[in-house]
Amino acid sequence: MRNLELVMGWLPSLIFASRITISLSVISVVIGMLAGVFIALGRISANGALRKACGIYIFIFRGTPLLMQLFFVWYALPLAIPWLAMQDRFLAACIAFSINSAAYQAEIIRAAIQSIDPGQMEAARSLGLTYGQAMRLVIIPQSIKRLIPPVGNEFIMVLKDTSLVSTIALVDLMKHTSQIQSSAATALVYLPSACLYLIFTAVFTFLFNYLEKRHSVYE
Amino acid sequence: MKKIGFSSGCWILAGILILSMGLTACGGSGAGNGSGSSSLTLTEGVLKVGMEVGYPPMEYLEEDGVTVTGFDYEVAQEIAGKLGVEVEVVDTAWDGIFSSLDSNRYDCIISSVSITPSRQEAYILTRPYIANAIVIVARNDEQIASPEDLAGLRVATQTETTADEYMRELRDGGLAVADEDYFVYDKIIQCFDELLLNRVDAVMVDSVVAAYYMGSNSDKLKIKWENDTAEPLGICLKKGNDALTAEIERIVDELYADGTMAALAEKYFGRDVTEGVR
């Protein structure tokens, strides 16, 4: 009973700290998705230079640790270019997570677009649509259903990776949990904290499943 | 298939149970250093020392990036030398450094551990081997003369340090530093980076460490305030490890008597701070 009381006492502050975890994941995945569409289109465009540039972007940001990118944005960038010194930790975290997520999602989107039968593009072009119109009206709408499961996966990964922000002194759910652990001298706090992570994952899994069902009406 | 899967699952579970019981048993005997083994340390001939390497001048890496050095490291070397064993540094994050003592990852922690009542409850802490004080470091132009002046400013500390605890006490006692203006970092160097980048206004930190950073940035940063009550540092061991504790206490006394400690303090802090410590 004593334990239950303890857990209930921690819960409000844990939920409050979760606002960083959730808002950071949602913002980064949404920005990463928008940027990812353009990087993916660049990767499969006819322009060789653009293709190369997008390939290098993905190579760099998928090939280095997210933690290092976060440190780079927050600590190294201001030393190299002083006017880029941000004062807002949350903004810095959003930038680092977004550029990282964009690299992953670009590959997800590229794979989804390329999985659409080439006949679709040929048919659209033969009806007189431009390349852009065909992409926008025919190919991308069809690829969305195939995007949803891997993007859901990416979202859950980002949600858990947000625990890295404690390194720039931003207090998210994980950091607040370890603060409670050390001040209350008990590891019991990991239990409600893990439950919260599971609840968030469950909610977003449900949401992505719903979206997938809605988008499968065409098939 | 199902049946085989289930029974093999049971075997795995049983295996894990037996293994963990075995490990607990080992842990039990290792802690007391009693049964069977005559070695004072966990591993014969080696003194495993837990350190958070990255806290100059107490424990840090030389310019080659791999060699551990620092005041604590040399103290560990001296102690090991008198015990007739080798030092093995186990580099650990500060967050969790104490719990690794419970799981027998090392014999002792020599890593600027301040002696506090709550730590003494859970672990053995030797009598102090050196003393330290909490200080406030800020940029030159900042008007700070005491902790009260921190009200309304942005303050940084390293997580779980006594400076962190002290700041929490001050804030609980009414010091007006808002939650969103109080920053707790994993590494002490990050606090100083933030100070130089103008993202925080003051850093609360151990004096011995502050002195080291003043060296390279003495034109920009300044120690604005120093706590009167010195904060003694001790060597931390697992509860029940009395034999090794007694040996270490005896050796540190010797190091004080023959002037080794005074020389080390002179070397790392620029002055002899051993007066009245022990």
Residue B222 maps to which CATH number? 3.40.190.10
In a domain, B140, yes or no: yes
Q: Where are the domains of chain A?
A: 2-218
What is the total residue count of chain A? Answer: 219
Band (B260; pLDDT cuts 50, 70, 90): very high
DSSP chain A: -HHHHHHHHHHHHHHHHHHHHHHHHHHHHHHHHHHHHHHHHHHTSS-HHHHHHHHHHHHHHHHS-HHHHHHIIIIIHHHHSGGG--S-HHHHHHHHHHHHHHHHHHHHHHHHHHTS-HHHHHHHHHTT--HHHHIIIIIHHHHHHHHHHHHHHHHHHHHHHGGGGGGGT---HHHHHHHHHHHHT-GGGHHHHHHHHHHHHHHHHHHHHHHHHHHGGG-
- CA A188 to CA A143: how far, in whole Å? 44
Contacts of B122 in chain A (CB under 8 A): 185
In a domain, B13, yes or no: no
> Rounded mean pLDDT of B131-156?
93
For residue B209, the enclosing domain spans: 134-226
- CA B3 to CA B181: how far, in whole Å? 59
- CA A95 to CA A194: how far, in whole Å? 26
In a domain, B14, yes or no: no
pLDDT value at residue A4 = 87
- B140 lies in the same domain as B208: yes
CB contact under 8 A, B95 and A178: yes
Q: CA A54 → CA A36, A50, A81, A98, A103, distances in Å?
A: 10, 6, 24, 15, 9
Q: Give me the number of domains chain B comprises.
A: 2
In a domain, B274, yes or no: no
- B151 lies in the same domain as B195: yes
Q: CA A66 → CA A29, A33, B239, distances in Å?
A: 14, 17, 39
Flag whether pLDDT at B3 surpasses 50: no
Q: Decide if A112 contacts A33 (C-beta within 8 A).
A: no
* B108-114 vs B231-237, strand pairing mode: antiparallel
Contacts of A178 in chain B (CB under 8 A): 95
Q: A166 — contact with chain B (CB < 8 Å)?
A: yes
Band (B35; pLDDT cuts 50, 70, 90): very low
pLDDT value at residue B8 = 53
Amino acid at B198: N
**Pairwise pLDDT comparison (A31 vs B197), residue with the higher score:** A31
Amino acid at B142: E
Best of A171, A177, A186, A190 to substitute, by most chain B Cβ atoms within 10 angstroms, is: A171
Band (B132; pLDDT cuts 50, 70, 90): confident
- B247 lies in the same domain as B115: yes
- B219 lies in the same domain as B258: no
Q: Note down pLDDT in tens along chain A; length 219 residues.
A: 788 888 888 999 999 999 999 999 999 999 999 999 999 999 999 999 999 999 999 999 999 999 999 999 998 888 888 887 788 899 999 999 999 999 999 999 999 999 999 999 999 999 999 999 999 999 998 999 899 999 999 999 999 999 999 888 899 999 899 888 877 777 888 999 999 999 999 999 999 999 988 887 666
pLDDT value at residue B176 = 92
The Cα of A87 is separated from the nearest Cα of chain B by a number of Å equal to: 6
Select from A78, A169, A182 the Cβ nearest to the Cβ of B183: A169
Query: Which residue in this structure is represented by tokens 């009200």?
Result: B151
What is the total residue count of chain B? Answer: 278
Chain centroid, CA B221 distance in Å: 24
CB contact under 8 A, A169 and B156: yes
**Pairwise pLDDT comparison (B30 vs B42), residue with the higher score:** B42
In terms of CATH architecture, what is A2-218?
Answer: Orthogonal Bundle (1.10)
The Cα of B242 is separated from the nearest Cα of chain A by a number of Å equal to: 24
- CA A209 to CA B199: how far, in whole Å? 42
pLDDT tens digits along B56-89 = 889 999 988 889 999 999 999 999 999 999 999 9
Q: Decide if A138 contacts A120 (C-beta within 8 A).
A: yes
pLDDT value at residue B26 = 43
Amino acid at A199: I
Query: What's the complex ipTM?
Result: 0.72
Segment among A82-91, A122-131, B133-142, B160-169 with least mean pLDDT: A82-91
- CA A33 to CA A92: how far, in whole Å? 18
> Rounded mean pLDDT of B43-52?
94
Dihedral, A5, A10, A12, A14 alpha carbons, nearest 10: -150
Contacts of B190 in chain A (CB under 8 A): 75, 167-169
Interface list for B 197-256 with A (CB within 8 A) = 197-199
pLDDT value at residue B38 = 62
Q: A80 — contact with chain B (CB < 8 Å)?
A: no
From B185, which residue of chain A is nearest by alpha-carbon distance?
A: A169
Residue B238 backbone dihedrals phi, psi, to 5 degrees: -70, 145
- B140 lies in the same domain as B72: no
Flag whether pLDDT at B265 surpasses 80: yes
- B120 lies in the same domain as B237: yes
- B83 lies in the same domain as B165: no
In a domain, B25, yes or no: no
Q: Which residues contact B136 (CB under 8 A, 6 or more apart)?
A: B144, B147, B150, B202, B203, B204, B223, B224, B225
Hey, how many other C-beta atoms are within 10 angstroms of the C-beta on A93?
A: 25
CB contact under 8 A, A169 and B184: yes
Interface list for B 71-110 with A (CB within 8 A) = 95
pLDDT value at residue B25 = 42
